[in-house]
Amino acid sequence: MDLSDLARRPTEWLRGTGQLSDVVISSRVRLARNLAGMPFLGKCNGEQQAEIEHRLRECIMRAGIADETHYVNIAECEDIDRSLLVERHLISRQHARADHPRGVAFSPAETLAIMVNEEDHLRLQVLRSGLELDQAVEETIQADNRLEESLSFAFHRKYGYLTACPTNVGTGLRISVMLHLPALKMTNEIEKVFRAAHDMRLAIRGLYGEGTEATGDFFQISNQTTLGKAEDQIIREFCVDTLPHIIEYERRAREVLLSKRAIAIDDRVQRSMAVLRAAKLISSDETMYLLSLIRMGITLGRCSELDLATVNELFLMTQPAHLQKMLGRELEPLERAEARATYIRQRIDAASE
């Protein structure tokens, strides 16, 4: 497929709907699997890596796990295309930077993606807008079952599915949510939440996962261990014992800000909108910061000029690779800043009509 088409449309999981979408941007369920009888990727030679990629690509395309499945050979992609796939959360940065045979398959809506030869031979993920983990888990298991009809995965009777990282051994299941926590950041409560999450053995990462920092007050929170736990236990602990508390903390922090600092909130939101409407040059970081404030303003009823779907779209479409793919050429940093500002002004004007 032509990856330029991706850059011109928002992705389904950022549509701004689903449960608790004021705080929960998206839900993700990821499954790690390795082929039986083959070494883990780090122990494979080049010939084995190529064999795994070819075998999994053929199986995925035949399995019918989506109405239509697109497959991209990452090893043959241009750097800009790899960056585009990272920005859309279809592949990890680690997957983009590797130099061995690898690929990614995904559905047209991009709610299902399968990385081939990342850390494990196969990493399957399902993404949904808002808090929709139950549905995502169900779809993940269905896709896994379809693949197992023609593949044998490495499995130990005592330990479960075997994975390259010991923390994934067992079910191989990782569940995560992308949260927008601006109020906890503004009230200096975010570190308390992080400490509590750490005590509950949760991993907290930035917008693009492991090794990335939080941008625009977005945080990915996921379970850390799968060994010795069944799927329903992992989901219950995450969705019942942990996640509701974090969401409640953020909502309380927003209520505090609204009751005690309403004018200050309105000032920040309107200043952010004014800058985005007028800027001729703007960086990715400043864009994320300003859109984060506007998004909070929308959820608090202090901004009616944009909706959540439009703001979520701007978060994605103003990233460097998206801008360059939309314009069809590589851009220097200053050119990207100008293109970003122009796109934002046009999108805000269109939404206001």
List alpha helices for 64-189, DSSP H: 79-87, 93-97, 133-148, 182-186
Domain identity same for 237 and 268: no
**What contacts 309, CB < 8 A, 6 or more positions away?**
10, 14, 15, 16, 17
Q: What is the pLDDT of residue 285?
A: 92
The one-letter code for the residue type at 173 is L
- If DSSP codes are grouped into helix, strand and coil, which group holds residue 255? helix
Domain identity same for 38 and 179: yes
Give the range of the structural domain holding residue 226, as residue numbers without chain letter.
Answer: 3-255
- The total number of structural domains in the chain stands at 2
Q: Do residues 15 and 309 make contact, with C-beta atoms less than 8 angstroms apart?
A: yes
Domain identity same for 52 and 87: yes
Taking only the tens of pLDDT, the chain with its 353 residues reads: 678 888 888 888 888 888 899 999 999 999 999 999 999 999 999 999 999 999 999 999 999 888 789 999 999 999 999 999 999 999 999 999 999 999 999 999 999 999 999 999 999 999 999 999 989 999 999 999 999 999 999 999 999 999 998 888 888 999 999 999 999 989 988 888 888 777 777 788 766 555 445 566 898 888 776 666 777 777 777 777 788 888 999 999 999 999 999 999 999 999 999 999 999 999 999 999 999 999 999 999 999 999 999 999 999 999 999 999 999 999 999 999 999 999 999 999 998 77
Q: Positive or negative CA dihedral for 113, 207, 316, 352? A: positive
User: What would the two tokens of residue 92 be?
Assistant: 């990890």
The one-letter code for the residue type at 41 is L
Domain identity same for 202 and 302: no
Domain identity same for 319 and 346: yes
The predicted-structure confidence for 232-245, as pLDDT tens digits, reads as follows: 777 777 777 788 88
CA nearest neighbour of 173 among 30, 28, 40: 30
Domain identity same for 114 and 245: yes
- Enumerate the β-bridge partners of residue 179: 24, 219
Q: What are the phi and psi torsion angles at 175 (to 5°)?
A: -115, 140
Q: What is the pLDDT of residue 212?
A: 46
- Enumerate the β-bridge partners of residue 106: 70, 113
Last residue of a domain, which of 202, 225, 255?
A: 255
Domain identity same for 228 and 285: no
Instruction: Specify the DSSP element, H or E, that contains 316.
Output: helix 308-317
Last residue of a domain, which of 221, 237, 255?
A: 255
Domain identity same for 56 and 101: yes
Domain identity same for 126 and 240: yes
Q: What are the phi and psi torsion angles at 315 (to 5°)?
A: -55, -40
Q: Do residues 302 and 183 make contact, with C-beta atoms less than 8 angstroms apart?
A: no
Q: For the chain, what's the residue count? A: 353
User: What would the two tokens of residue 127 be?
Assistant: 């993404």
Q: Do residues 121 and 33 make contact, with C-beta atoms less than 8 angstroms apart?
A: yes
The predicted-structure confidence for 12-21, as pLDDT tens digits, reads as follows: 888 888 889 9
CA-based end-to-end distance of the chain? 33
- If DSSP codes are grouped into helix, strand and coil, which group holds residue 323? helix
Q: What are the phi and psi torsion angles at 60 (to 5°)?
A: -60, -45
Domain identity same for 62 and 187: yes
- If DSSP codes are grouped into helix, strand and coil, which group holds residue 340? helix
Domain identity same for 84 and 214: yes
Q: Do residues 118 and 92 make contact, with C-beta atoms less than 8 angstroms apart?
A: yes
Greatest extent of the chain over all pairs of C-alpha atoms, in Å: 63
Instruction: Specify the DSSP element, H or E, that contains 59.
Output: helix 46-63
CATH of the domain at 234: 3.30.590.10
Instruction: Specify the DSSP element, H or E, that contains 160.
Output: strand 160-161
Q: Do residues 163 and 169 make contact, with C-beta atoms less than 8 angstroms apart?
A: yes
User: What would the two tokens of residue 172 be?
Assistant: 């191989």
Domain identity same for 277 and 305: yes
Q: What are the phi and psi torsion angles at 112 (to 5°)?
A: -125, 130
Last residue of a domain, which of 222, 240, 255?
A: 255
In angstroms, the CA 69 to CA 66 distance is 6
Rg (alpha carbons) of the chain, rounded to whole number:
21
Its pTM surpasses 0.85: yes
Q: How far is Cα of residue 213 from the mean position of the Cα atoms in its chain?
A: 13
